[in-house]
Amino acid sequence: MPHTLSREFIDFSIEMGVLGFGEFRTKAGRLSPYFFNAGRFYDGASLGRLAQFYAKALLASSLDYDMLFGPAYKGITLASATAVALAQCGRNVPFAFNRKEVKKHGEGGMLIGAPLAGRVVIIDDVISAGTSIGESVDMIRAAGAIPVAVLIALDRMERSGDEKTIGALSAIAAVEQQYGIPVFAIAKLDDILVYLTHCQDAALNKYLPAVREYRRRYGSEPVDNSEGMVRS
């Protein structure tokens, strides 16, 4: 992603309380110095701005795609809102999403929205275990369409597993390896490190050492500190 877009997204996430710093226990049992909860984008204005970031990320990419797909549940809102934002930018694409359970009355089935066809981008917030992405890929391929990429809000850039059994790959790398499709994000943990490095707000800047150490300990890729930047 363009550095400007990532920085603006981090600014926005902090402003909305979606990205916070302190001490937080992750599902894997790790003590993390930061958290990201996309569920806090819960009003019309914030969802609209979030969708613009997804749309800009897609427009800035070289992806060739025909439609969007949102995995239930968070992906439903994200894919729908992103389709609206893309249309406002002059790129009108259809979208679809799935139910968690098959509906046996009315239109029935697992899928809602446009028929799955062509080249499909999966839209979600983060990837933890990759389960919903795997289910999405299977549904898209079963319909005869082609999943070409996954777009998420934040790449935590950390290896999977718990404190005792740290995996060799991140959940994102595992998805890319298993399904053969790229995963890209509006922002990465390295972008957060760069943001904290250059931040003039002492209340935020003080968390830099803890976030840097977390990245060193659990990171899925080596840290590159060239030219004062933290990139992978």
Cβ neighbours around 228 below 10 Å, total: 8
Sole residue written with tokens 């718990």: 162
Q: Is 103 a catalytic residue?
A: yes
In angstroms, the CA 9 to CA 189 distance is 12
In angstroms, the CA 192 to CA 210 distance is 12
Which residues on adjacent β-strands are paired with residue 120?
A: 67, 147
List 3, 103, 198, 206, catalytic entry: 103
Q: Is 56 a catalytic residue?
A: no
Residue 173's identity, in one-letter code, is A
Answer yes or no: are the C-beta atoms of 150 and 182 closer than 8 Å: yes
List 105, 164, 188, 198, catalytic entry: 105
Q: Is the peptide bond before 34 cis (omega within 30 degrees of 0)?
A: no
Q: Which residues are catalytic?
A: 103, 105
